[in-house]
Amino acid sequence: MHMLNVYLLRHGQTAWNADNNRYCGRTDISLTATGIRQAEAVKEQLKGITFDGVYSSPLERAFMTANIASGVHVKKDARLIEADFGDWEKKTKEEFIAENATLWHNWMEDPAKYKAGGTGESGMEIVTRVDDFFRELRERHASGNILVAAHNGVNRLYLAYKLGMPLKNYRMLVQENASITMFTLSAEGDFTLQHLNSKL
């Protein structure tokens, strides 16, 4: 049976991750020195694997991580971009809850329906675009190994969706900076989680 192995990466550390996890959706910031070292550690971890394709969110932090980790040509795909966090962008959770607690409450209760930060994307909008990317990827690559570099929000929501969890449970899935989550996609589109947050 032909299986496609997908190595899903969250980008390396950024200054905002280090700053009390300030929400960074579409803001295009770079990796810290630590983030670059993390991406180099991933390259070491994956050195025995030949990739048939490497894809990344168009944002610099994911693209740099993919570039360093793979050492091969990286294709950017807009569907892998981080969630649009609306009014939460650039703020920590403490800051935006103080401004409007209802927005956070709604998102926690049903992110599938409610928009992040009031004006951003809903969870269903996010998983639809990410799932569309992986469906197309499966058509393009029948088997082999693919590296995909994306973000904390989109990765966790997509995994929750594929595992049949309510999207509000996405926060139960950890995605550490520059750690690998590996899953397989079969020809029939069956999704199997092999490693979560792994240093393989």
- The catalytic site residues sit at 11, 82
Kindly calculate the radius of gyration of the chain based on its CA atoms and give it in whole angstroms: 16
Check: CB of residue 158 under 8 Å from CB of residue 131.
Answer: yes
Tokens of 100: 């409007």
Q: How many CB atoms lie within 10 A of CB 155?
A: 23
CA angle 104, 109, 113 (to 5 degrees): 90
- 52 burial class (0-12, 13-18, 19+ CB within 10 angstroms)? middle
Distance CA 185, CA 200 (A): 19
Distance CA 61, CA 118 (A): 25
Tokens of 25: 């959706």
Helices (H), the chain: 15-18, 33-45, 60-70, 93-99, 101-109, 123-140, 152-162
